[in-house]
Amino acid sequence: MMGYIYLAVAIIFEVVGTTALQASNGFTRLGPSVVVVACYGLTIYLFALVLKTVPMGVAYAIWAGLGIVLVALSGLVIYKQALDAAAMIGVGLIISGVVVIHLFSKTLTR
């Protein structure tokens, strides 16, 4: 169970870091740049802890899938970057893939 808690926190840090990456303006703004480095460092550390109990392929699929969805929502809410229909369909397929892995994969650690 702790693996999934670490994974959730890692995803949150990754989304915050990626959102700050946009705000860093190519690492030309100090504050957001520091947030990026700190969040990505914490993300990698937490993901390493996740891999002690959750299979790598499953953990990475959940991390990447949910990260993409949450970053897209962050871009919409914070930067007003709307997704077109094709992008929304793609995000929906990513969500579907994560759900299929979580619900039906035999490789999940329970």
Query: 80: which DSSP letter?
Result: -
Give the separation between CA 105 and CA 81, rounded to whole angstroms.
34
Structural domain containing residue 66: 2-104
Q: Is the entire prediction scored with pTM above 0.75?
A: yes
Instruction: List the one residue out of 70, 96, 58 whose CA is nearest residue 9.
Output: 70
pLDDT at 98: 83
Residues 6+ apart with CB under 8 A from 21: 32, 36
Q: Is residue 110 part of a domain?
A: no
Q: Which helix (H) or strand (E) holds 43?
A: helix 30-50
pLDDT at 108: 59
Q: Is residue 16 part of a domain?
A: yes
User: What is the number of structural domains in the chain?
Assistant: 1
Q: Is residue 109 part of a domain?
A: no
Q: Is residue 84 part of a domain?
A: yes
Residue-by-residue pLDDT tens, the chain, 110 positions:
899 999 999 999 999 999 999 999 999 999 999 999 999 999 999 999 999 999 998 899 899 989 999 999 999 999 999 999 999 999 999 889 888 887 887 775 44
